Structure 1
Amino acid sequence: MSNRLVSVCPCCSENEPKKCPSCHDGNIKKVDFVENMFFYGCSNYPFCTHTYKACNYCKKPLSIIDSKKNLYLCSDKTCKGSVEKCKVGTGYLRRLVGPSGPFWGCTDNRETDCSSIKPYTDENAETCHQCSVGKITKSWNRRQNKPFWSCSEYSNGCKWTEPYGNSSS
């Protein structure tokens, strides 16, 4: 007799193991790698290196690909989280800071030398993870005389901030 508990009720279906789409042998699991930061990867690592980014809104895997809009979408159908898929590599674009200022850069940069970038502008700015209304913009801390990221809705009550140069994307 097996000592494993298998859940089949509809209320627990989100906790049901999801098979890895690459190796078809392992299961997708949450992997914590830094305090409050994680991603989803195959349980057969290091033999299979398939991963998904965690959604900035609900923290579930961004595992659905919308090829028409070139986006990775959240696996939770009720969530509006998404990230733009790189047009060159298999990664996604995240907010980065370089010598010339902020830009969108590919997460595959180190592994595949993908140099796909695009400017970070007001039109394509990242939506705030906390309020889902404002955009993440560069602000200035006058006391410390240095920049930081904040929500454009800061004056309306959203207090999301992040040190400039960091990216949770």
Structure 2
Amino acid sequence: MGVSGSGKTTVGTRLAERLAVPYAEADDFHPPGNVAKMAAGTPLTDEDRAPWLDAIAEWLAGRGGAGGVVTCSALKRRYRDRLRSAAPGVFFLHLDGSPELVARRLGERRGHFMPPSLLRSQFDALEPLHEDEPGAAVGIDGSPEETVERALAALAR
């Protein structure tokens, strides 16, 4: 989980490879209307996110305990609760970085529908993991491989 530009896809694919489990990209679960809205620079509402979260929850539930990695911003606790209700064993890795670092990375990214102008709204909406949520914050200040190593260490704990 994390804001756009935090490295979810890069770290998620590498983490899934290291764990030898399936990977799913949350962006692929967005209905076309959501993609168009974000591409136009309009933040999504909770109503917009509902079918997207349900589709991700369905993927998680369909894993049947076999494991998998899915990238998802999951910025708010209620979104994570929705995912957890479908897949009670889910563990969240919050890819955590400063707004400045993420803005720089987002500015370097090409070919993605999420414009850098929406980053502030994502940080405003972000509710870090609460103590009672299954998960860990993982710093992204370093290479993607260093972040993957931190993620694996968090999973081992």
What TM-score results when the alignment is normalised by the length of structure 2? 0.29
Question: Larger RCO: Structure 1 or Structure 2 (Cα < 8 Å, ≥ 6 residues apart)?
Answer: 2
More helix by share: 2
Q: Report the structure number with the largest CA radius of gyration.
A: 1
Q: TM-score, normalised by structure 1?
A: 0.27
More strand by share: 1
